[in-house]
């Protein structure tokens, strides 16, 4: 077989001279690369194909975002529902644990499940869209929020900003940890991500929201909340394990 390489306009042409015609090359265009029909200069995609990709992304995010918004809303509504722990140590009582603290680990487990199913990109999108919608609702008309949510708790602007920033940062780190810890042991990724989320949230939120305030020893609160968050995260490995068959990763993530 002899090959001759020469230029023909914008395409590089490889002319082949073969004694055996069983290779299937019959015309000069058979050896042109890139093919006219599939690459540069080919027909453009139709409108339907152009919107199919973004529409699929939006459809996949509807349930994860709705779940995250629901859990964040529940955490907000239970902020003032303090847990009565008369026999607990003084440091635990000073931490002012509430039912909202039991909801927060569920929120980042919702992000873990999205990360497992669709990957880190979708988990980042779920986090940003969910927090964005919650922030938008809070900014629309916070003065009249009691008109549609009875007995809504009152949080200071400092505490609300600290919560949003710490939740965003903590789960940003958790998504990275989850994606890095994927592997054949099913529990490594959610456990590493939950540890990161619990630690970062506790270390950022409580000093940002309460440092300098006289009514709350934020150092004790941060430590106690970290223990509660991570302890509940270990318990949440059970429903995570049970949900694994229904939340199988998409192709390209090695089944983890």
The pLDDT tens digits of the residues spanning 121-131 come to 999 999 999 99
Q: Is the pTM of this model over 0.85?
A: no
- Both 7 and 103 in a single domain? no
Q: Pick the more confident residue, 230 or 217.
A: 230
pLDDT at 174 over 80: yes
CB 99 within 8 A of CB 84: no
**Domain count along the chain:** 2
- Both 66 and 171 in a single domain? yes
Tell me whether residue 252 is in a domain: no
At residue 146, the pLDDT reads: 57
> What is the b/e burial string over 191-212, where b = at least 16 CB atoms within 10 angstroms of the residue's CB?
bbbbbbbbbbbbbbbbbbbbee
- Both 22 and 83 in a single domain? no
Nearest in space to 116 (alpha carbons), one of 166, 55, 177, 200: 177
Tell me whether residue 6 is in a domain: yes
At residue 14, the pLDDT reads: 47
Look up residue 26 and give its DSSP letter.
-
CB 225 within 8 A of CB 104: no
- Both 60 and 18 in a single domain? no
* Joined tokens for residue 89: 């140590």
Which domain, by its residues, includes 33? 1-43
- Both 36 and 57 in a single domain? no
pLDDT at 154 over 60: yes
CB neighbourhood size of 14 (10 A)? 14
Nearest in space to 154 (alpha carbons), one of 102, 77, 59: 77
57 vs 20: CA distance, rounded Å: 49
- Both 55 and 181 in a single domain? yes
At residue 216, the pLDDT reads: 72
- Both 38 and 151 in a single domain? no
- Both 106 and 230 in a single domain? yes
Tell me whether residue 254 is in a domain: no
* CATH number, residue 226: 1.10.1760
Look up residue 248 and give its DSSP letter.
P
First to last CA, the chain: 47
């Amino acid at each position: 077989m002899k090959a001759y390489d020469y230029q023909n306009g914008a395409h590089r042409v490889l002319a082949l001279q073969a004694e055996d015609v069983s290779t299937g090359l019959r015309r000069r265009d058979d050896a042109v690369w890139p093919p006219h029909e599939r690459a540069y200069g080919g027909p453009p995609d139709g409108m339907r194909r152009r919107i199919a990709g973004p529409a699929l992304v939006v459809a996949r995010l509807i349930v994860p975002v709705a779940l995250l918004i629901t859990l964040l809303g529940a955490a907000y509504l239970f902020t003032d529902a303090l847990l009565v722990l008369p026999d607990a140590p003084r440091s635990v009582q000073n931490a002012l644990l509430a039912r909202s603290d039991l909801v927060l680990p569920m929120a980042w487990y919702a992000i873990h499940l999205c990360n497992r199913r669709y990957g880190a990109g979708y988990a980042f999108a779920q986090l940003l869209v969910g927090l964005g919608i919650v922030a938008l609702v809070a900014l629309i008309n916070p003065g009249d929020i009691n008109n549609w949510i009875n007995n809504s708790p009152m949080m200071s602007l400092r505490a609300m900003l600290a919560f949003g920033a710490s939740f965003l940062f903590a789960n940003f780190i958790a998504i990275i940890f989850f994606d890095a810890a994927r592997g054949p042991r099913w529990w490594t990724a959610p456990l590493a991500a939950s540890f990161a989320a619990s630690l970062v949230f506790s270390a950022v939120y409580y000093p940002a929201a309460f440092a300098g305030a006289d009514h709350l020893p934020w150092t004790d609160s941060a430590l106690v909340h970290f223990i509660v968050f991570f302890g509940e995260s270990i318990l949440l490995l059970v429903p995570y394990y049970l949900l694994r068959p229904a939340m199988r990763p998409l192709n390209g993530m090695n089944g983890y």
